Amino acid sequence: MPVWFMRQAGRSLPEYRKARSGTAMLDACLDPDLVAEITCQPVRRHGVDAGIFFSDIMVPLKLAGADVEITPGIGPVFSSPVRSRADVDALTSRQIDSIDVIVEAARACCTELDGTATPLIGFAGAPFTIAAYAAEGRGSRDHLAARALMHSDPEAWHRLAAWAADLAIAFLRAQVEGGARAVQLFDSWAGALSRSDYRTFCLPHSRRVLQTLRADGVPTIHFGTGTAHLLVDMRDAGATCVGVDYRTPLDEAAALLRSDNQVNHSCGPVILQGNIDPALLACPRDALHAHTRDVIERGRRADAHIVNLGHGIPPTTDPQVLTDLVAFIHDLPAGTLASPEGM
């Protein structure tokens, strides 16, 4: 029964903290040997069924020369937020000169993973989430600056989002060239949008990323948080598999997508990823296991299910809890589960 975790490579692991010690986040992401080491750590320790390319959604922007850093405790910080048409022009004039370091890093991951025959999954930030960071200058709760830009100057917004989509395509294709066998598009902040704004201002750009990769023959996973109202659109954007956050039970997500299939005569299978509540990782084992069984039971309503968390691993998580959880899931009787290649 396949399982992997969002943020499985990261601060919950002592070997990660040791490997990263003294190296800034974005520097670490541009060091192929370090990327391979960190990507493989959770595969070695937990026995998860995929390695997730260790990187950051800001890496393609950094490669394009954007003035962005990852500040510990805050996240991405832009020295000059993008608020005006001139700001958009300045940022979007930047292009990636060479993506070779990403190809090389992905290749190093695959070489390292090869011994265990574990596939590598690539990832990138979705255009809205990238553009929202750029407009606000950092993370925020409401993404007011990004949402104001959409409605104040739709043309400038679309140019910014299209640029972010181009970077995401280049970033994902480099990972695929290096050997990644599926890709995840993270739209962390999409839940801040109304469905109407998502469809008008964001979906076309995410669709271009996902459909480009699908045309390349690569299965795609599309994830955001607080996106119960957007799940149909996120699937229609071109997702082979929809990642569901912990708020929406998988049986409800499956029913929603299936009823939309019937109404709109879509024909793809309903493939879901998710959605063990990360809060349960800090609870007694009995509560975590009962919850995990419930998630897997509800996931049987989908045509296929990849077991994952409903959001990233909290940094304070005891790694042994994760190792034991993987074993627990692997020991459960198999339902209809997806493999990265078989999506």
Binding site for a copy of itself (CB under 8 A): 141-142, 144, 147-148, 150-152, 191-196, 226, 228-229, 246-249, 277-280, 282-284, 287, 291, 311, 314
Cα–Cα dist 226/233, whole Å: 14
Shortest gap between Cβ of 294 and a copy of itself (angstroms)? 10
| Closer by beta carbon to a copy of itself, 171 or else 198 | 198
Shortest gap between Cβ of 140 and a copy of itself (angstroms)? 10
**Smallest Cα–Cα separation from 26: which of 92, 72, 91?**
72
Cα–Cα dist 207/175, whole Å: 19
- Which residues, at least 6 apart from 18, have a Cβ–Cβ distance to it below 8 Å? none
Shortest gap between Cβ of 117 and a copy of itself (angstroms)? 34
| Closer by beta carbon to a copy of itself, 164 or else 288 | 288
Q: Are 58 and 139 in contact (CB under 8 A)?
A: no
| Closer by beta carbon to a copy of itself, 176 or else 192 | 192
| Closer by beta carbon to a copy of itself, 314 or else 335 | 314
Residue 221: strand pairing partners: 184, 241
Q: Give φ, ψ of 216 to 5 degrees.
A: -75, -5
Q: How many residues does the chain have?
A: 343
**Smallest Cα–Cα separation from 122: which of 219, 190, 244?**
219
**Smallest Cα–Cα separation from 308: which of 6, 98, 43?**
6
Shortest gap between Cβ of 69 and a copy of itself (angstroms)? 20
Cis peptide before 264 (omega within 30 of 0): no
Shortest gap between Cβ of 75 and a copy of itself (angstroms)? 11
| Closer by beta carbon to a copy of itself, 38 or else 256 | 256
Cα–Cα dist 337/299, whole Å: 9
Shortest gap between Cβ of 341 and a copy of itself (angstroms)? 31
| Closer by beta carbon to a copy of itself, 47 or else 81 | 81
| Closer by beta carbon to a copy of itself, 109 or else 256 | 256
Which amino acid makes up residue 57? I
Cα–Cα dist 205/224, whole Å: 15
| Closer by beta carbon to a copy of itself, 120 or else 134 | 134
**Smallest Cα–Cα separation from 5: which of 319, 239, 332?**
319
Cα–Cα dist 126/104, whole Å: 23
Shortest gap between Cβ of 10 and a copy of itself (angstroms)? 15
Shortest gap between Cβ of 282 and a copy of itself (angstroms)? 4
